[in-house]
Amino acid sequence: MKDICRTLTDSSRESKFTLVASVVAIVRLEKIVTARQSFARVTRSTQIAPLVVSGA
């Protein structure tokens, strides 16, 4: 956390670009992970639904 603050206070353009790039990469990773989780949830519910229907 201290490193991030140090990078923010650093006035050089390169370090700011590196910080922005890393934040963008983290955000993209989180989006991919959440998309995969929701997709897994959908596929799981579509697999369970026919079993429930056939069981009833």
For 44-56, what is the mean pLDDT? 67
Q: How confident is the model at residue 52 (pLDDT cuts 50, 70, 90)?
A: low
Say if residue 49's pLDDT is above 70.
Answer: no
CB neighbour class for 12 (10 Å; exposed up to 12, middle 13-18, buried from 19):
exposed
Distance of CA 29 to the CA centre of its chain: 4
Stated pTM of the model:
0.45
